Amino acid sequence: EAGVTQFPSHSVIEKGQTVTLRCDPISGHDNLYWYRRVMGKEIKFLLHFVKESKQDESGMPNNRFLAERTGGTYSTLKVQPAELEDSGVYFCASSFSRTGKVTFGSGTRLTVV
Amino acid sequence: GNSVTQMEGPVTLSEEAFLTINCTYTATGYPSLFWYVQYPGEGLQLLLKATKADDKGSNKGFEATYRKETTSFHLEKGSVQVSDSAVYFCALIDNSGGYQKVTFGTGTKLQVIP
């Protein structure tokens, strides 16, 4: 089975620009999560979708971040406008409620300069 | 809330040395515990897990035992290899929430030198 796919794998943008990260979960997984690791700190939870609905977005840092999950399939995470402190690695993960096994993607390394 | 504390890195060891990476946790319920590994240039991979007290997770020569009395889940390997160089994350999932939200530690970078 294909894993969780994220792209781009790397993105370098200037402060003030907009960036959109994409995540394709494992087919059939109803749960989709976004996490972020900044500058050697812990990986922090951002939000959780169940199908197309946001179940928990308590980890979203501010209103510059917008996540969507179209039709309960792939998800996008848009940062607008990007700030320096947004630099880090953004991980996506998915799981199927009945099994509970969480699979992570390879991450997108975002650098804001 | 839930939290995971793991030892600061980086950890540098010679090949065939013994490895211990300490991890302790705080959780309101009865969590499942995990070690994830991120090799250079790759994504997060599940290394091992334990779902209840006294369970031992093991994989690729790594082991960790779920110790409820000390709220710990220390990672050990008897003889490390250069290929074990990676960042290791201790993590938990609180099973009371109805979904699999993962709480991670800060990660410990391991470098194994020949």
Query: What is the chain A residue with the closest CA to B95?
Result: A100
Query: Hey, what's the torsion of the CAs at B90, B49, A3, A68, to 10 degrees?
Result: -60
- Binning pLDDT at 50, 70 and 90, where does residue A1 land? low
pLDDT in tens, A39-64: 778 899 999 999 999 999 999 999 99
Minimum-distance CB partner of B101 among A40, A45, A97: A45
Give the total residue count for chain A.
Answer: 113
CB B102 within 8 A of CB A48: no
Task: Match 């991670």 to its residue by tokens.
Answer: B104
Backbone angles phi, psi at A101, to 5 degrees: -75, 125
pLDDT at A29 (0 to 100): 93
Residues of B in contact with A36 (CB under 8 A): none
Residues in B touching A106 (Cβ below 8 Å): 42-43
pLDDT digits (tens, 9 = 90+) for B25-77: 999 878 999 999 999 878 889 999 999 999 999 999 999 999 999 999 999 99
Q: Which residues contact A53 (CB under 8 A, 6 or more apart)?
A: none
Stretch among A1-5, A76-80, A98-102 having the lowest mean pLDDT: A98-102
A-B Cβ pairs (cutoff 8 Å, strict): 57
CA nearest to B47, candidates B11, B17, B21: B21
How far A83 CA sits from the closest chain B CA (Å)?
22
Q: Residue B98's pLDDT band (boundaries 50, 70, 90)?
A: low
Please check the confidence at residue A85 and state whether its pLDDT lies above 90: yes
pLDDT of residue B8: 83
As a dihedral over the C-alpha atoms of residue B12, residue B18, residue B20, residue B21, rounded to 10 degrees, the angle is 30
CA-based nearest residue to A67, from A41, A35, A44? A35
Q: pLDDT class for A36, splitting at 50, 70, 90?
A: very high
Indicate the average pLDDT of chain A. Answer: 93
Cα B45 to Cα B76: distance, rounded to the nearest angstrom: 17
Q: What does B22-64 look like in DSSP terms, one character per residue?
A: -EEEE-SS--EEEEEEE-TTS-EEEEEEE-STT-EEEETTEEE
pLDDT(A15) > 70 = yes
Q: Which two tokens stand for residue B45?
A: 């991979």
- Find the helix or strand (DSSP H, E) in which B14 lies: strand B11-14
Q: Residue A13: pLDDT above 80?
A: yes
- Let me know if B18 is exposed, middle or buried by CB neighbors in 10 A (0-12, 13-18, 19+): exposed
Q: CB under 8 Å to A62, separation ≥6 — which residues? A: none
pLDDT in tens, B2-19: 899 998 889 999 999 999
Please state, in angstroms and as integers, the Cα–Cα distance from residue B13 to each residue in A6, B10, B36, B40, following that order. 33, 10, 19, 17
Q: Least CB-CB distance to B99: which of A31, A40, A106?
A: A31
| Residue pLDDT, tens place only, A16-25 | 999 999 999 9
Amino acid residing at A6: Q
Q: What are phi and psi of B84, to 5 degrees?
A: -85, -5
| CA-derived radius of gyration, chain B | 14
Q: What was the pLDDT predicted at B73?
A: 98
